[in-house]
Structure formats: C-alpha cells, structure tokens
Structure 1
Amino acid sequence: MSSRDPAPTVSADEGVPAAAGEPSSAAPVEPAPVDVPAPPEPHRSRAAARTWALPVGVGVLVAALFTLYSLAQWRAYVVKSWDLGIFTQLAQRYAALEAPVVHIKGPEYNLLGDHFHPLLVLLGPVYAAFPDAFTLLVVQNVLFGVAAAVVTWAAVPLLGRVVGALVGVAFGLSWGLQHAVDAQFHEIAFAVPLLAISLAAALRERWRTAAVAAALLVLVKEDLGLTTAVLGVVLAWRARRPALLWLTAWGVGGFLVATRVVLPLLNPDGEWAYGSRLDLVAALSDPVGLYDPAKGYTLWLLVVVTGAIALRSPFVLVAGPTLAWRFLSEESGYWAPTWHYSAVLLPVAYLAMLDGIDRARRGRVRWLRRYSRYAPVVGLTASLMLLPQLPLWQLTNPGLHFAGLRAQAARDAMAVVPDGAVVETDVGLMSYLVGRTDVYYLGNDNPVPEYLLIDRQGGGVPQEWGDVLQVAQILHPGVPFEVLHARDGYEVARPLED
C-alpha cells in the first residue's frame, strides 16, 4: 500500500447478515453516517486570556500607581493649572447632553473653539456615573494603563515574557507619561493608547486595526491630524498597500477643517487661537536660533530610553509633527520634557524601539544584530536611572511632597459656598468646586458672582491685588462685597444684598 493511499475503512454494517430474500451478491449497503467527534482544538478565549494576562497585569499596575499618585495630589490640594477644571466642566456638559460651554475658559465659551477634541464626548457617560473632577484623573490613568498593556502585548513575542513585561512597565512609567499625570488631565490622554494600538497593530500586520486607531487621532486634537497623515504614509509603505494613503488625506483634511473652519467658527475671536504661536518663516530664518538646551534634553530622553535603536525604525517619523510644532514655537514651555506635551511621543518611541530591534535582528549589519540583544537592557537601565527625577518618586516621601498642610482650611472655605452657586475663583480650589457649582475663572470678564473665593498663597492671584475685598473691587468695580471666611490664605466673599 502506498503511503498516500487512504487507510482501509470498516463498514458500519460489516458482519451483519443479509436480510431474508436478499441475494448475498447484492451491492454493499452504504453505511449510515456516523458522527465522529473532531479532535479538540485550543479554546480561543482561553488562548486570548493567556496572551493578555501579562499585558493586562502590567496595565493594571501602571494605572494603579498613577491613581495612587493622583490621589495623593488630590488630598493635598495640589492643583497644577486650570485645565482640570476646564475639562471637568466640559465633561459635565456632555453628561447633561449639552454643548461644551465652559465658563472657566470664558463666559459662554464653547470649548470646541479652543481645541478640536470631539472624542472627549466619551467623558460624558463616565462623568454622569461618577460626577467629580477626580474621575478625569482616573480616566487618564486607566488610558495610560491601556497603552502600557498594548506595548507589553507587542513586546512579549519579540523579547520574551520577562523583558517584554519590563519594557511595558518602563513605557507605562516613562518620563512623558509621568509628567502628564503630574500635570493632571488633558485631552491627549486619549491619543496615547490610540498611538500605541496603531503602531502595535502595524508590528503584527493588523492593518485594519492600525488604520482605525490612527484615524481616530484626528478627533483628539487638531495637530494630531498631521500625525495621522504621517502614520498613513508609514503604514502604506510598511504594508505595501497604497490604499492606506487615505489616512494621509484624512489627517490633512481633518487638520485643515479643524483649524480653518471649526475652530474659527466657534472661537470668540474668530480664529485658531494657537495658530499665532507658530511662525514657521521666522523660525526657519534663523536656524541656529532653533537650538535650545531644553529641546536637546527632550530629544536625548527619547533616544536614551529606547537604547537609541528606535532610530532604526521608520516609526520615529510619526513623532515629527509633534516635535515640529513644539520646537518651532516661540513658547518656551513647549520645549522641555515637562507637562503633558511629550506623552504622545512615548508610544511612538517605544514601538519604534521594538520595530528597530526586529529590523536589526533580520538585517545584514552584524554589529547592529548583536546590539539588538542588548538595546532593551540599555533602555531599561536608562529608565531606571531616571526614576528618582520623576514625579512618581514623590510617593517615596509623601509626608514631604503631599503634606496637605492647608487641607482643613480648604475644606472650610469650600463649605461656605453652597451647591449650585455661581462662584468666581482662581486655580486654587477650582477643580474641587466645579463638580457642584457653576465656576467662573477670575481672570476673565465675568458677571458678578454669588461668591468670590481666592487662594492668596497658591491660587495664582497677583499678590499686589490684596485681599478678597480688594480683588472684588478690581474685578467688579462699584459692587460692595462682604467677607464670609478667611483662613490660611483662603478667603471667601459675596456681594452685599441691596
């Protein structure tokens, strides 16, 4: 018998005598079909659970550590800026199915005229369930945890479980994400996991997932349309699918519609408010002047945490638009690695590192193939050495960094303001009031509030303005106010009744 011949089969009727009256030479009766169970296959859900168990664990760890940090900030009444109050008021409006009119930004100010971030409508249902500014901090921390899980998922098949998990943790606790958590909530929280998903899917050649995630970036912030445009080129080249260049058209179109139509239409001044901060002609006219140590340090951090092998990957091009608008701007606050501006760069850097390792291993350059074995260790070592300089390190001495010496005074001041009141305030307690009152920022031209609350020590009110009554006269000349509370720098007043 040939090895290719089928194995002999036994009829189901074999050995059964023919019925009476049937000739023995009759053709054999076709056997009735017999259900033979198929060999057991691995259960897909169990396989998926095993695949994602480690990445999810890394994501939960990152989200938990960041939430612990946010909680320490919150309880110590540490507020970095007015942005948390602004986005909380936006979430409040979306939860009520209203337009995102944010009084903190300005009276009747539609926040879609400040930045183009329609994807933030997703905050509405979450805020409706948990109506508090702290909710937004948790949302951001969870989104960063999701990104860390995705990076781990991409790293483990390439580097192994231990090193892959360490790379995921290093990304999750990287300098860009830590500074973003320290600066509290911003819209780019949604861009971080989307970038991670898009580039990780590209590594696995899951082009549809990569394209959808890249396309959603246009809805996070107007400048990310240009990031999507670059992603379209990178994905089309990587997949050898020119059709993916639709992403480039989508990104450029989204950027132009946002900056030329939507933002000027909804902005009170009829313009893209941040367009004037980028003078490309002036910047390029003095190339030497483009250099600044803060810019160099930001670039150095991106290189060192990836062991420099990220430069081997075309994924690094995706960071180009963000670096360009930051470094070409005259706003020096954009140049340094602090605040939230670098958060979108870190998923690009780490996925480029993974891609660079993979490309180096399959490349022809011998020394680069050898170095690809050690590049993760170089990046992990650099990440470890940076930790004491980063915000999360403050948790090692919370008594020093989160003492909350004026916490009781803050609570007493807020207790004077009833729920639902119209209150004008500075940055100090804005985020704590916004969930239960209608908050206006005292730097704008506002109507006369029902209550005026200032923090003379940390709220940002100029010292020369004086106490709360003097501030009231500066803001609302001719309207008499009376002091209701004054303790440890927190002062509350209200207009006198006629």
Structure 2
Amino acid sequence: MRTFPDERARLGGESPGTIPAPAPRSRPAVPLPWAWAAVLFALYATVAVRRHLLLRTTGYDLGIFEQAIRAYAELRRPLSPLRGEDFNLLGDHFHPALAAVAPFYRLWPSPLCLLVVQSALLAVAVVPLASWALTALGRRSAHAVAAVYGLSWGIASAAAFDFHEVALAVPLLACSAVALGQGRWRAAVLWAAPLVLIKEDLGLTLAAVGAVVAWKGPRRLGLLTAAAGALASAVEIRLLLPALHPAGGYAHGVNLGEGSHESLLTTVAFAPLDALRPDIKAMTLVLVFAPSALLALRSPLALLTVPTLAWRMLSQNGFHWGTSFHYSAVLMPVVAAGLIDALRPWRGGGAPPAAVRHVRASLATALGVTLVLLPSFPLAQLAQRATWQRSAHAEAARALLARIPDGATVAASNRLAPQLTARCEVVLFPAFPVDARLYRYEHGRLPPPTAEWIVHDAHAPEAWPYRTGHWPYPAGQQAAELAGARRSHGYREVAHRDGITLLRRGPEAGRG
C-alpha cells in the first residue's frame, strides 16, 4: 500500500517537501544486568580491600589460599606452609579449579588480587539472574531481584571473609539454576559440571541438578548427571583427598562423625528433629530462604540447596551452622533463581491486575527482608566511620613488616600472615609446622619455632563479627610461646610498636 507525503507527516514521518534531519547519535545504554554487576563488584571489592588494609583478613584463610595460588602461578604443587610442612592443599579440599586464578595472580602477585577476583566472581553471578528476571518479570522486578541477590547476607558474608574456592561456584550455579528454570536442560548440566573441580561436596550439588533435570526434563540426561555428580564426590572424598593429605584420610570427615559409625547414624537419624529446634540451625534454615520471602521454597530449584544445607546441618562443627563465613554463598544464587521461578507464572501474557499486584508485593517483601538484614552483615561496614579512618595500628604493623626481607621464613600472627604471604614463606605463630597437635599430644608442648623471623600482634582487632581476638591460639599461650622464643630459642627483639613484636633469630638488632 502506498503512503503519500502528507500521510507520512500525519503518521509521524517527514513532512512534505522537507529532508528529514538525521537522528541524533547516542551511546547505547549499559544493559541492566551488567550495570548491577559493576555496582556490586565495587561494593564487594571495596569492603574486602578495606578489611585487608585494616588487618581484618587472616592467614586462615586468605593466606592459605594465596600460598596455594602463588604455587600454581609458579608452576608448583599447591603447598601451604600455613597448613603444615609440605602440606598439599588439594588434600584439605579438592579444588583444582583454583589454578584458574593463577594467571591473574601472576600479573598481580598480591592478596588483593584474590580479593578482587572473588568480588568479580560474586558480582558477575547477578548477570544471568537479572537477565532472566528482566525477560520473565519486567524491568522493575529485575532491579528487585538483582538487589535481593547482590545485597543478600550470604553473599555479603563471603565477600567480606577472606578468599575461598566456592566463589568460583557462585556464577556457575547462577547460570545453571537459570538454565533449569528456562528448561534448557543440557545447558544447565554443562554449567554445573565444573563444580566437581571446585570442592568435593559440590558433586552432590551437580547430582541435585541432575535430579531436577530428571524430574522436569529428559530423564536419561538427569539420571546420568545425578550419578556422575554423586560418583565424583565419592571418588574425591574416598580416594583423592586421602591420597593427597599428608596424614591420609579425609580431613573433614570428623565433622560428620567419620570414624564413629554410631555417631554418624545418630546424627542422620535425628537430623530432622534437630533442625526443628529453635536454635541456630533452625534460624539458619529460615534465613537462607528469607531473602526470597521464603518464596524460593515453592520452586523445584530449591532442591539444589539440599546437599549444602544437609552437610552443614549434619556437621558437628558449630561454625557450619550459622550465618557467618562463606558457607552460604553457593545458596544465594539458587534462592534468587527460585524467587524468579516462583513468580514468573504470575506474569505471563495478559496477566490480570491481581497477579501483577501479587508479584510486586512479593518482590517488595523480599527486598524489604534483604534490607532489614543488611545492617547485621558486613556490607554495612561501608557506612561506618571506622572503615574509612586511618588505622595507626595497621600503619605500625606495615612499618615493622617492611623490615622483613623478601623470601624470609616468618612465623606470624593470624592477622599478620596475609600481609606477608605474597613475598615470604609464612607459617602461623606459635607453631612450625602449624598442625603440631600430634606433637603436643606426644611430647606435652609445641615444637620449637624454626622460622628466621617471628612477628606477633598482641592486639585483638575488631572483626566482623567472628574470629575476633587471637584465634586460633589463646592469647596466654601465644604470650608464653613468645617469651619462650626469646628465652630458649635464640630470638632477639628487633622492634616493638603498638603491641606488635618483631623478633629475629640471631644477634640483637636493637629496638625500633
């Protein structure tokens, strides 16, 4: 059908007898998911770096992982002197995927590299989640989902607690959960498959992905995936980890009562009742799904949280039960994806106004819960004056640590260790090797220190909100060992400032 000039003018085209002006050129807008990833990366990296500069990071675990990644970057076995003499970290947890961080560390050999890489991994997981929310629920809803994930307490706790291998799993789980929700079964399996190289228990999460695929999609693909995931965890726990651990066996089996058949059976049998008690375990189970206003429980994707929650609730280690540390990081992308999956049936084509109001109210509730929890977790540090103030104690520590030459062997306090692991061989004061409990049991004392330098911090800095003070050794024990190093092992004081003592084996160099 022909369109005449005056009709084109009426329809919004050019007017008769005129040459249309060229449209103004504008920059394409940054896609919403990547804009959120950039904002979250800035938040996570800022809080992580500031904590390190304030001496709030630790040898356990930032220093340990830096030693392993530094070894990978130098094409060596991932040995960690902080964990023990000639200790292969692959015997502690099975995480060969950590080698992927080594090229970045080679370019920037610093603990800050690990913290920034972790921040990027946690932040980029928002991209598949916000993208799915954008197409399934709309633009405003996508903003809400991105905030629910990005500001969730599980991600905040991980971003502010040193570095851990599970950061590699977070974006993979986000992509896999989204693919499951969209019915892209093969993509879901492919995204989840590398989990078996990140940590030994994540093979069970891959098995859970397979279970969802078998339930909702191709049964054969799902069953094969579930079997492969369970087999991978079994091989890693029963064969690979014992073969690589210096003492043999699975180091963390004791947390599940390994070695005590009766204890493990009792724990498993009474776990459901135990989880119903009004204690820290029940609180954790509720808080895991709280960022979704519990709506994620309505989605089949919630099944992906079962393996991680199961081993944590069955564990005899109290650190595993609460909201601290990094243990909930792998759960948060699944919870966010479950929230989208639970709400998307209400936003189909031609959804009635009541359904739209339901989605908006649900997302408002989820976002409200997330914001209410926010002040209780580490991202709130960004609004605290102490985070941005100059720390005289940290400056004193850096001045003393600068007196230790590169390549030296140093026994350091837990919070001083990661300040040195990029350039020295660091062990944890007061023991070398650090896993000297058997020696103490047999001989009644720790072995004598063998490091050239000792740097000890008597100060108990504030941490958020756990592992404060002098963990893992009591302050009294550390003071006694420090005095013993002077008295019996030939160490002389080089400097002392603001509670930090620097000793060196050999002639006295004078106080500073």
Q: TM-score range by the shorter chain?
A: 0.7 to 0.9
Q: 2:278 & 2:484 partners in 1: Cα distance? A: 39
Change in CA separation of 1:188 and 1:475 when aligned onto 2, cut-off 3 Å: farther
Tell whether the 8 Å contact from 1:76 to 1:402 is kept in structure 2 after alignment: no
Task: State the match for 1:161 in structure 2.
Answer: 139
User: One-letter code of the match for 2:252?
Assistant: Y
Task: Determine whether 1:315 maps to 2:272.
Answer: no
Q: List per-residue Cα deviations over 1:221-245 (Å, max 9, x = no partner).
A: 0011111111111023222342232
Task: Determine whether 1:90 maps to 2:49.
Answer: no
Task: State the match for 1:484 in structure 2.
Answer: 494
Tell whether the 8 Å contact from 2:67 to 2:80 is kept in structure 1 after alignment: yes
Tell whether the 8 Å contact from 1:416 to 1:484 is kept in structure 2 after alignment: no
Change in CA separation of 1:205 and 1:50 when aligned onto 2, cut-off 3 Å: farther
Which entry has the higher C-alpha Rg, 1 or 2? 1
Which of 418, 428, 445 aligns to 1:441? It is: 428
Mean CA deviation greater in 429-438 or 159-168:
159-168
What is the Cα deviation at residue 305 of structure 1?
1.6
SS at match of 2:495: strand
Q: 1:355 & 1:431 partners in 2: Cα distance? A: 41
Which consecutive unaligned segments of at least 5 residues does structure 1 have? 1-48
Task: State the match for 2:15 in structure 1.
Answer: none
Q: List per-residue Cα deviations over 1:276-334 (Å, max 9, x = no partner).
A: 11133121444544435212222222333212221211110110011111111121111
Change in CA separation of 1:387 and 1:345 when aligned onto 2, cut-off 3 Å: same
Task: State the match for 1:283 in structure 2.
Answer: 267
Tell whether the 8 Å contact from 1:428 to 1:454 is kept in structure 2 after alignment: no
Q: 2:386 & 2:244 partners in 1: Cα distance? A: 45
Task: Determine whether 1:303 maps to 2:289.
Answer: yes
Tell whether the 8 Å contact from 2:213 to 2:221 is kept in structure 1 after alignment: no
Q: List per-residue Cα deviations over 1:154-211 (Å, max 9, x = no partner).
A: 1111121122022112201210000111212111101111100101122233333211
Q: 1:327 & 1:367 partners in 2: Cα distance? A: 39
Q: 2:196 & 2:456 partners in 1: Cα distance? A: 38
Change in CA separation of 1:404 and 1:360 when aligned onto 2, cut-off 3 Å: same
Q: List per-residue Cα deviations over 1:463-488 (Å, max 9, x = no partner).
A: 32365xx5256579842110101111
Task: State the match for 2:396 in structure 1.
Answer: 409
TM-score normalised by L of structure 1? 0.84
What is the Cα deviation at residue 372 of structure 1?
4.0
Task: Determine whether 1:72 maps to 2:59.
Answer: no
Tell whether the 8 Å contact from 2:59 to 2:428 is kept in structure 1 after alignment: no
Q: 1:63 & 1:381 partners in 2: Cα distance? A: 22
Change in CA separation of 1:371 and 1:302 when aligned onto 2, cut-off 3 Å: farther
Q: 2:284 & 2:66 partners in 1: Cα distance? A: 30
SS at match of 1:78: coil
Alignment of 1:342-491 (within 5 A): 342-359=328-345, 371-399=358-386, 403-446=390-433, 448-458=450-460, 459-460=470-471, 461-465=473-477, 467=479, 470-472=480-482, 474=484, 478-491=488-501
Task: State the match for 1:219 in structure 2.
Answer: 197
Task: State the match for 2:312 in structure 1.
Answer: 326
Task: State the match for 1:200 in structure 2.
Answer: 178
What is the Cα deviation at residue 390 of structure 1?
1.9
Tell whether the 8 Å contact from 1:472 to 1:481 is kept in structure 2 after alignment: no
Q: List per-residue Cα deviations over 1:25-81 (Å, max 9, x = no partner).
A: xxxxxxxxxxxxxxxxxxxxxxxx989811111111101111111122122121255
User: One-letter code of the match for 2:34?
Assistant: V
Tell whether the 8 Å contact from 1:394 to 1:401 is kept in structure 2 after alignment: no
SS at match of 2:327: coil
Task: State the match for 2:10 in structure 1.
Answer: none
User: One-letter code of the match for 1:465?
Assistant: Q
User: One-letter code of the match for 1:107?
Assistant: E
Mean CA deviation greater in 483-492 or 164-173:
164-173
Q: Aligned residues, how many?
A: 448
What is the Cα deviation at residue 107 of structure 1?
0.6
Mean CA deviation greater in 479-488 or 68-77:
68-77
Q: 1:240 & 1:462 partners in 2: Cα distance? A: 55
Task: State the match for 1:33 in structure 2.
Answer: none
Mean CA deviation greater in 61-70 or 452-461:
452-461
SS at match of 1:305: helix
Which consecutive unaligned segments of at least 5 residues does structure 2 have? 1-26, 258-263, 434-448, 461-469
Mean CA deviation greater in 397-406 or 75-84:
397-406
Tell whether the 8 Å contact from 2:486 to 2:492 is kept in structure 1 after alignment: no
**Superposition RMSD in Å:** 2.7
Q: Taking every aligned residue pair, what percent have the same amino acid on both sides?
A: 35
